[in-house]
Amino acid sequence: MVEKSLLVMLISSDETVRRVVEHALSGSLEDYQLDVVGQPSLASLRAAELRPQVVIVDDYLDDTGPIELIRDVSRRLPDAIVLFLVETCPEAISAASQAVMAGAKGFLTKPLNARDLATHLGDLLGRDRAARNRTREGIEGHVIAFCSPKGGTGRTTMAINTAIGLQAVTKADVALIDADYVSPAIDVSLNIHTQHDVTDLLSRGSTLDEELVRSVMARHASGISALLAPSPDGSPERISAAHVHRLLALLKDLFGWIVVDVGLPLDETAFAFLDGAGLVVVSVLPELVGLRNARIMLEHLYTRGYPDHRIWVVVNRATMTGGISQRDIEQRLHLHVHHTFPDDQPLVTHSVNRGIPLIMSHRRGALVNAYNKFIDKLVKEMIPQGIETKESPASTVAGQGQTFDGRVRRPRLGFWPD
């Protein structure tokens, strides 16, 4: 069973959609109430009056724009699960992305399938319950910080794909923080366009709250939430270590996982993120200059009291021609290399230029397989009992409803979780 006593509002004038929704609910719920609103102009007021737990919005609403309607409903009912129904077409991914940015928790492509709808609703409701239980029981989220001794090691790419993969495997809310305040890149890499960034939170000092933080964070089409760094062409307000401590404390109450992309230089602000992390991932390349700098960075971490088990060294582009072997890297750093990623620079460049993380766009290949294994290691390290999953992160993200290349394929279940 998905849930009992569930109030669902359907905003659609399509009789076929109504029948499929009724069939999906009747086959998965013991007790539910479906309220159908055929006039979109009345939908927001009706939603505010009834306060349904689930709101399903059809993309065809005569003269009413579904994205604006989703934004309005999400503002009035911040705790509701809003689901977007979009017609299968080349523009479906773009429309779905806009819907998620406006507040939708998921989407499904039409023609609708009752089984897909029931499964997706059950998944979203389960995530919602888990998030509420985590907050109520005081369970803190896991913080993973990615850092590197120099630029160009693939640190940001690792952080992004790890965040998306963690959500796919653990079914938890994931926050991604761009803490590179000199050369931020997450907004470009994820093709996020927003006017908000971390500086919007600074003026509030110690009065940060969930509503404010969530309003500043950008919702990505994969379902993760990103807190962006200020634009490098501006004059950003200084972000202090105290700001970082307060921010992480709140995010650990709101999210199951917090992934931080920590940039250079490693000043007190950067160390505040590293100090607050349960695991620090140091990204290196198999070349001498970077390894020399990595050794210096590791010495700084040891000086601050970081134990070996909190530091993971990972080697990016490990198979590059002329690169130093893993054995030599371990001897030079006096640390075990926890993971290696093969060299596939053309794929990474293509992924960044498209603004679509490779773990979403590719299901196979040596690099994607390396991310799958890395994420499994992280889960087992941070959650000792592990998490049972039948699918790899890449197959879960890219395998349910979209290939992210402009085509939407079967099965029609989109993976856009809360």
Lookup result for tokens 């110690």: 206
Section 396-414 average pLDDT: 36
**Cα(304)–Cα(311) distance, integer angstroms:** 12
pLDDT digit string, tens, across residues 90-124? 776 677 777 877 788 878 888 888 888 888 788 77
Contacts of 370 (CB under 8 A, 6+ apart): 339, 340, 341, 342
- Fold of the CATH domain 140-389: Rossmann fold (3.40.50)
**Cα(115)–Cα(121) distance, integer angstroms:** 10
pLDDT of 127 above 80: no
Q: Choose the weakest-confidence range: 10-24, 128-142, 337-351.
A: 128-142
For the record, the structure tokens of 343 come out as 């060299």
What's the longest Cα–Cα distance across the chain? Answer: 69
Section 238-262 average pLDDT: 89
pLDDT for the residue numbered 393: 59
CATH class of 6-134: alpha beta
pLDDT digit string, tens, across residues 131-167? 666 655 556 789 999 999 999 999 999 999 999 999 9
pLDDT digit string, tens, across residues 313-326? 999 999 999 999 99
**Cα(145)–Cα(279) distance, integer angstroms:** 6
Of 241 and 184, the one with more pLDDT: 184
Contacts of 129 (CB under 8 A, 6+ apart): none
pLDDT category at 415 given cuts 50, 70, 90 is very low
Listed in order, the ranges of the chain carrying CATH 3.40.50.300 are 140-389
Q: What angle do CA 62, 68, 70 make, to 5 degrees?
A: 95
**Cα(24)–Cα(12) distance, integer angstroms:** 16
Of 348 and 413, the one with more pLDDT: 348
Contacts of 163 (CB under 8 A, 6+ apart): 174, 175, 176, 224, 257, 259
**Cα(95)–Cα(126) distance, integer angstroms:** 25
Section 256-283 average pLDDT: 95
Of 90 and 218, the one with more pLDDT: 218
pLDDT of 11 above 90: yes
- Rounded (10°) angle between helices 114-137 and 15-28: 60
**Cα(382)–Cα(178) distance, integer angstroms:** 21
β partners of residue 315: 284, 340
Lookup result for tokens 């013991």: 30
pLDDT for the residue numbered 64: 74
Question: Which of helix, strand or coil describes residue 215?
Answer: helix
Q: Choose the weakest-confidence range: 166-175, 183-192, 235-244, 291-300.
A: 235-244
| Percentage, residues of the chain above pLDDT 70 | 85
For the record, the structure tokens of 191 come out as 């093709």
For the record, the structure tokens of 354 come out as 């498209």
pLDDT of 244 above 80: yes
Listed in order, the ranges of the chain carrying CATH 3.40.50.2300 are 6-134
pLDDT of 233 above 50: yes
DSSP 287: S
For the record, the structure tokens of 332 come out as 């030079």
Ramachandran angles phi, psi of 225, nearest 5°: -115, 130
